[in-house]
Chains A and B, each alone.
Chain A
Amino acid sequence: MDGGEGLSAGPVSAPTSASASLRRARGRVSAGLFRRAWLRATLLLGAPAAWFVLLYIAALVILFISAFWRVDEFTGKLIHSWTLDNFKTLVTEPTYRTIALRTIGIAAAVTVTDALLALPFAYFAARLASRRMQSLLFVIVLIPLWTSYLVRVYAWRLILAQDGILNWALHKLGLGSLEVAYSNWAMWIVFSYIWLPFMILPVWLAFERVPGSLMEASSDLGARGWTTFRRVLLPMVLPGIVAGSIFTFSLTLGDFITPTLVGGAGSDFIGNVVYRSVGIASNVPFAAAFATIPLIVMALYLLGARKLGAFEAM
């Protein structure tokens, strides 16, 4: 290590008087700091804490307070008086209820799909694949994870398009064509694709943690493969599935890019309404009120996940 040389050379070599006094001063500062742990802690944590509290937490707090404000219809100005009107609109307008249900429904469907796709893959990767195969599979899972999100959505837009490769392949096989482009089906496929690595990795990890002796014991005791899977493996990897589902569910819930690019006319998500309310209608209070729905859903989800031990599985 290169540090060793610097260290031993430092105190032994004869320093010039200027650097000696500098060193003494530094020594005093460093000794003073050493005695005052709270001071060191404050110096270290001060800047990051200020950043988060003054910029991020403050912004979040103001946002949620503003959910109870309203915008004057004529002047477009914010009115800082307490009202539940935004929430009333959300509950009474059927359009918004449909949008909220669609968002939550597709997020749930994506989560289930990803769990089903990931389970056999993760089992194979964790328990059957050779070491070389494992690292290859790991890279293959990570490449889409780190490929630009927009790029992957765009790729699917091309695949699912009327004149895209999917219909071309189906046509070649003599199966006619599918009309999935710009629909809820397209969103389901694309979201399932985009978030699949987030499900695979925690489940893979969970499978890795199951001791091999446990499965041997199960089969020694006469359990067939399927019984071992259902009664021994599944309960043990459940926290991994729940951990993955936090990502698949939460990320789908807050998205508006995929619905914009591959969804159809009637495919609005909560995020689309929020985006338009902020950007076009300048109605931040309403957007904030609507955004509380994914937030509350996620909070409940996280509480449930913690009960199931998902946080230990990450």
Chain B
Amino acid sequence: MGGGMRLSRIALAVWTVLIVCFLMFPIVLIAVYAFNPSNVQSWPLHGLSTKWFSQTFQNDAMREAFWLSIRAALISTGIAILLGSLAAFAVHRFRFFGRETVSFVILLPLALPGIITGMALNSFFTWGGLNFSLTTIVIGHATFCIVTVYNNVLARLRRTQASLVEASMDLGADGWQTFRHVTLPMIATALVAGGLLAFALSFDEVIVTTFTAGAQNTLPLWIFGNIRLGQQLPQVNVVVLCVIALTLIPVFLAQRLTRDTGALRPVGGGMAGAGSRTRVVAEAPPGG
């Protein structure tokens, strides 16, 4: 029986190594492809080169798409921080009718298939006579980004002690002072972490954006279009490497900031509800 035990342990370890390879291999491979000197994306590569990098960075369409993505992500993140933390405070502080549904509704844009959110917004904008622009992209992104801030802030508020706020009020601070000097420092890192995750989520989103961008290209749409049509693939490879770096850095920072609460799992306790130790792992992109 002991032998069987050891055998199954070895089998499990081997399986784990295989899964690790499976998970990491495509990401390593795509990073290598950025240095493919050839126009043709076949394996094996014939040498390594950085010759596509400068060309890529001078590509105007790509740069325009990149800046549109950055602007959309920054504005969406701002909106998400504002609305997400407001909602988190309300849910944390008060008991009111429909309180239980708040978490559910905020999670909905991320839980529903992206095509549904995208199509709903698309026909809504068309119906309301709103032209597709940066605004429409931002509305879509902010809607599904709010949940990351909301969950992070709510989780933090639930772990902080109400007595600190009471002590501050007892010592004569008014509501604003208490917020500025007691509450804000307590939730600051959760806010930043939620914001970074919102940024990463927005920067990467494709499905909803295809419905809300009209003729504009965000960076993911530029990549998607080129892959689909098989155009400018060497440049796509370079951009893809940069995108990996750009999304992993904020996530890494967010993780450092909230080691204790595990914010890397952006959708926290949303469906499970209050106080649960665990957090739902979700979606990164509603492309996910």
Contact = CB atoms under 8 A, between A and B. Distances in A.
Interface stretch (A59-67, A83-91, A177-185): A59-67
A82 interface: no
Interface string B106-143: 10110111111101111110110000000000010011
Contact of B12 (A49, A52, A120): A120
Interface string B24-37: 10110110010000
Contacts of A44: 86-87, 89-90, 93-94
A96 interface: no
B281 A48 contact: no
A151 B44 CA distance: 20
A94 B143 CA distance: 36
B206 A149 contact: yes
Nearest to B84: A48
Given A143-B248, A152-B27, A257-B207, A314 B280 contact: yes
A294 B244 CA distance: 31
Contacts of B4: 224-225
Contacts of A47: 82-83, 86
B41 A158 contact: yes
A151 B30 contact: yes
A51 B143 contact: yes
Contacts of A10: 172-173, 177
B278 to A, nearest CB: 6
A37 B30 contact: no
A261 B228 contact: yes
Given A7-B181, A146-B248, A147-B244, A295 B41 contact: no
Contacts of B168: 7
Interface string B219-240: 0100110011000000010001
Nearest to A34: B175
B63 interface: no
B113 A193 contact: no
Nearest to A157: B227
A7 B19 CA distance: 53
Given A26-B176, A151-B244, A164-B42, A2 B23 contact: no
Contacts of A155: 26-27, 29-30
Contacts of B1: 224-225
Contacts of B72: none
B203 to A, nearest CB: 8
Given A30-B174, A155-B26, A155-B29, A251 B116 contact: no
B124 A158 contact: no
A161 B42 contact: yes
A167 B226 CA distance: 24
Contact of A140 (B9, B20, B109, B113): B20
Nearest to B20: A140
B205 to A, nearest CB: 9
B284 interface: yes
B115 A41 contact: no
Contact of A120 (B16, B42, B105, B278): B16
Nearest to A10: B177
A287 B236 CA distance: 31
A257 B224 contact: yes
29 contacts: A6-B181, A7-B168, A23-B174, A31-B174, A41-B90, A41-B94, A41-B96, A48-B84, A48-B146, A55-B124, A62-B123, A120-B15, A123-B12, A140-B20, A142-B251, A146-B284, A148-B204, A150-B220, A158-B43, A159-B26, A193-B22, A195-B288, A197-B281, A243-B280, A247-B288, A254-B207, A260-B228, A287-B119, A313-B278
Interface of B: 1, 4-5, 8-9, 11-13, 15-16, 19-20, 22-24, 26-27, 29-30, 33, 40-44, 79, 82-84, 86-87, 89-90, 93-94, 96, 102, 105-106, 108-109, 111-117, 119-124, 126-127, 139, 142-143, 146, 168, 171-177, 180-182, 184-185, 200, 204, 206-207, 210-211, 220, 223-224, 227-228, 236, 240, 243-244, 247-248, 251, 255, 264-265, 269, 271-273, 276, 278-288
Interface of A: 1-4, 6-8, 10-11, 23, 26-27, 29-31, 33-34, 37-38, 40-41, 44-45, 47-49, 51-52, 55-60, 62-63, 66, 117, 120-121, 123-125, 128-129, 137, 140-152, 154-159, 161, 163-165, 168, 193, 195-198, 201-202, 205, 224-225, 243, 247, 250-251, 253-257, 260-261, 270-271, 274-275, 278-279, 284, 287-288, 291, 294-295, 298, 311-314
Ordered nearest first, which 3 A-B pairs have the shortest CB separation?
Answer: A254-B113, A3-B181, A30-B175
